[in-house]
Amino acid sequence: MWLKKVVREDLKSVGKYRYGKPIEELQRELGFEKIVKLCSNENPWPLPDSVKEAIIKGTSKVHRYPDPGSYLLRKRVAAKWGVSPQEVIIGAGTEGILHSLFHAIINPGEEILLPTPTYPLYKLAAIAASAKCVEVNAKDEDYWAIEDLISHCSENTKALVICNPNNPTGKMLKRSEMLKLALELENRGILLIVDEAYAEYVEDAAYLAGVELFRQVGRVVVIRTFSKIYGLAALRVAYAIAPKVIVDAYDKTHPVFEVNSIAQKAAAAALMEEEYIKEVRLKTIAERKRILDSLMELGMQTVNTCANFLLIKHAKSDLIYDLLLKEGVIVRKGSDLGLPGHLRVSIGLPEENDKFLTSLKKVLTSVEL
């Protein structure tokens, strides 16, 4: 019984992160040889040769510890955005950065403001750092009003974390709103943390990249990942642009060798592949539109998004999810992401999207009987 007392009290009411169903798990359960995975918002397109070569080259030194300062990658990120290397953080994915960042800035009992629904790991990372989470719910699936976010700030609020475009809704805050939010928080001494995992997929000219906020306001943290459009999800590497004082504190709390040498080399190579990124972006957007058009023809209620996924709204979404699994198609239950009554569907390769649409038509027939 004493072991139960070892576990922190505030973790007892927190559930584990519900990740998308792994391909291997569904293969074991149903015996499928080929699975279509559209649940984790990954880039399904083949990597460029330069990145593959960097990965292979990185395997030659796995018996050595990686560069703890990620010198080459940090330098290339800084050059890309026109900032100092001392204003760049390299970490093990977005969640890895947030875990160490929260430990660097939060005193026990201080608050982290979380507009919801959003990426569930923000809350888990904040609680792990002994923060109190204040969640601000969106109204009627719309994005949050800036005034509503500000009204929930208190003297104990240390930071506000916002995903822009947001996961799982796919919506974005526009330039004027982001500037207003950043300046309001700046005046209150509250750190704005912007997760831009899906920024490369945005078409809207009203979008304001977080690095522009950093240049204009200065005291913000902008996180981007190599797990989405860059196609390096398995290597767990991301970066942040932040004030030097934040970077210095972060360097005291993060695991010393958290980003392995293969990930560092692959990410450094991927960052140089601008034409590849443009190509993946255009193909993803084209496929997103094609799927949306097909769903509309089926009479499905859909939500157009700014990201590499879309949303289907349906009263029997959980049943549709289960039936799609039996067809060898993995999507994401909105109920796992704070968005019940929805399915989140990643944009895959054209043939994967075709399989999804064919399977969905079949599933809908049985659902509507």
> CATH number for the domain including 25?
3.90.1150.10
Taking the complete model, does pTM exceed 0.85, yes or no?
yes
The predicted pLDDT at position 369 comes to 54
Note whether 99 and 188 are same-domain residues. yes
Model pLDDT for residues 18-46, shown as the tens digit of each residue? 777 778 887 787 778 789 999 999 999 99
Residues in the chain with pLDDT < 50? none
Q: What is the mean pLDDT of the chain?
A: 93
Note whether 125 and 219 are same-domain residues. yes
The partner residues of 311 in beta bridges, in order of sequence, read 303, 344
115, 211, 218, 271 from 161: Cα distances, Å: 7, 15, 16, 25
Note whether 297 and 179 are same-domain residues. no
The predicted pLDDT at position 141 comes to 61
Domain that holds residue 35: 2-46+275-367
How many domains does the chain divide into?
2
The predicted pLDDT at position 217 comes to 85
Note whether 166 and 227 are same-domain residues. yes
Note whether 6 and 124 are same-domain residues. no
- Say how far apart CA 203 and CA 191 lie, in whole Å: 27
Amino acid sitting at position 31: G
Note whether 264 and 288 are same-domain residues. no
Note whether 321 and 343 are same-domain residues. yes
CA 319 to chain centre: 26
Note whether 71 and 121 are same-domain residues. yes
Q: What is the CATH number of the domain that holds 114?
A: 3.40.640.10
Note whether 136 and 285 are same-domain residues. no
Note whether 337 and 327 are same-domain residues. yes
CB-based contact 165:309 (threshold 8 Å): no
Note whether 330 and 240 are same-domain residues. no
Final residue belonging to a domain, choices 273, 297, 314: 273
The predicted pLDDT at position 161 comes to 97
For 170, left (φ over 0), alpha (ψ -120 to 50), or beta? left
Model pLDDT for residues 332-346, shown as the tens digit of each residue? 999 999 899 999 999
The predicted pLDDT at position 253 comes to 94
Final residue belonging to a domain, choices 273, 288, 306: 273
Final residue belonging to a domain, choices 253, 273, 293: 273
8, 17, 18, 19, 157 from 13: Cα distances, Å: 10, 13, 15, 18, 22
Note whether 257 and 285 are same-domain residues. no
